[in-house]
């Protein structure tokens, strides 16, 4: 029996904005058989802090196997 693949997805979901690229990323990961650990960035501050911590310029970001 093989373990199910898991992906950690960080994406923006705010009151007036849901990132369409985050939705597409989640769909593509699920279509490829991944269980998605969906982590929502719900404010501009949380998004900016995430980008600074991981040294990335954009979201969504997906992490597989760390």
pLDDT in tens, 18-47: 999 999 999 999 999 999 999 999 999 999
Residue 65, number of CB atoms within 10 A of its CB: 7
pLDDT of residue 3: 64
Host H or E run for residue 25:
helix 20-31
The pLDDT mean for the chain works out to: 94
Q: What's the pLDDT score for residue 2?
A: 59
Decide if pLDDT at 1 tops 80. Answer: no
Instruction: List, in sequence order, every beta strand (DSSP E) within 1-66.
Output: 6-14, 17-18, 35-41, 61-64
Question: What's the predicted TM-score (pTM) here?
Answer: 0.89
Least Cα distance to 40 among 23, 56, 54 occurs for: 23
What is the band of 4 on the pLDDT scale with cuts at 50, 70, 90? confident
């Amino acid at each position: 029996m093989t373990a199910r693949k898991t992906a950690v997805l960080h994406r923006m979901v705010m009151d007036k904005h849901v990132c369409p690229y985050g939705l597409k990323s989640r769909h593509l990961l699920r279509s490829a058989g991944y269980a998605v650990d969906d982590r929502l960035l719900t404010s501009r501050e949380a998004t900016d802090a995430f980008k600074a911590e991981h040294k990335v310029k954009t979201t969504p970001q997906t992490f597989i196997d760390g």
